[in-house]
Structure 1
Amino acid sequence: MTPEAFFFEFPDGRKAQVALGDRFLVAVAPYRQRTHPCQVHYFSSCTGELREETFSVRVLEEGKEVLKAQVRTGKDGFFELWLPRNRRYTLEVRQGDWVAQGALTTFAQSPTCLTELRLSRR
């Protein structure tokens, strides 16, 4: 997955891609103790620490809330967000009294994998 498209490779060797258009997909893996550096998300190999857990998520643009949702990480420890392209956001993730906050951008060179949101007790 790149900021521009999904890429698929099939067992018979065929390849395909699907353009993302005016939306940007970012995979997010909040963590408490261990993470890995990542810029490009690979659905087949990236794994996060907190698997199948529920979080409250808020996305802010210049202080204005643009998304508020309950999300659940998958078996890989990630949840995905679809956001408009070419924007700067603040992402807040909560689970009980654990909180993480960080920057998120949706430009052509922005990472599609966000693994730097360390949850801390508040």
Structure 2
Amino acid sequence: MRILRPLVPLGLAAATVLAGCSTTDPGPAPAASSTQGTDQASADAILEQVGLAGVDGRTVVDELDASSQARPLPLTASVREDVLLLGDGQQEVAMPLPEDEFYVSVAPFREQTHQCFYHSLATCQGELAGEEVTVRIVADDGTVVVDETTTTYANGFVGFWVPRDLVGTLEVEHDGATGTVPFATTEGSPTCITTLQLEA
């Protein structure tokens, strides 16, 4: 069962946008500043290109990750621990994400993958697109956080909002093959998991 919680009103803050899949941990997202891209109009100007003007950060993440549009999308969109960094080549904004949830997107693979740390909603592409997978996220204390059969998005990923400060394992099953990797939503954890290889 996917964990869902009510949306939280979000503001905007300036930040540096990561283009493409981030292969290493570049450190924490920049703190809010008063330089550029600090209002809804700035975000809407970027999001208008993909028909998402006027929505909050959580909705943007859900819609862009599940988008059937071919990658790359006409913007940059990087999911960090607590903000979504957006850019269009001329301006950059940061849309805060829910304080009590952590977004993680996983691209299970059989033969081909790529390195990733912070998930790029605009450019990341996994091997298995449009495939039925069963995903289980289990905390170290035995709590089952996610137990769901779903279909990977056009980008080969499937994403989940899960509680913060969680440590456990993530398991994916696809067509008789399974894979398991350690999983965490603690400070400094990745939002992009591309290391889960499926094996019979």
What TM-score do the two structures reach when normalised by structure 1? 0.90
State the alpha-carbon separation in 2 of the partners of residues 89 and 102 from structure 1: 9
1:73 equivalent to 2:155? Answer no
Q: CA RMSD in A?
A: 1.5
Partners of 1:11 and 1:2 in 2: CA distance: 19
1:35 aligned to 2:113? yes
Contact 1:4 1:108 in 2 (8 A): no
Any stretches of 5+ residues in structure 2 without a counterpart? Answer: 1-78
Structure with more helix by fraction: 2
1:6 and 2:80 aligned? no
- Structure of larger gyration radius: 2
Count of residues in correspondence between the two structures? 121
Q: Which runs of 5+ in 1 are unaligned?
A: none
| Structure 1: distance between partners of 2:146 and 2:179 | 16
Following TM superposition, where does structure 1 have runs of at least 4 consecutive aligned residues deviating by more than 6 angstroms?
A: none
Report the Cα offset of residue 40 of structure 1.
0.8
Higher relative contact order (CA 8 A, sep 6+): 1
Distance in 1 separating the partners of 2:157 and 2:145: 20
- Find the counterpart in structure 2 of residue 118 from structure 1: 197
CA offsets 1:59-93 (integer angstroms, 9 cap, x no match): 11123322211121111100001110011021110
| Structure 2 Cα separation of the partners of residues 4 and 89 of structure 1 | 20
| 1:27–1:41 CA contact under 8 A, matched in 2 | yes
TM-score scaled to structure 2, two decimals? 0.57
The question of whether the paired residues in 1 share the 8 Å contact of 2:145 and 2:162 is answered with no
Q: Which has the higher strand share?
A: 1
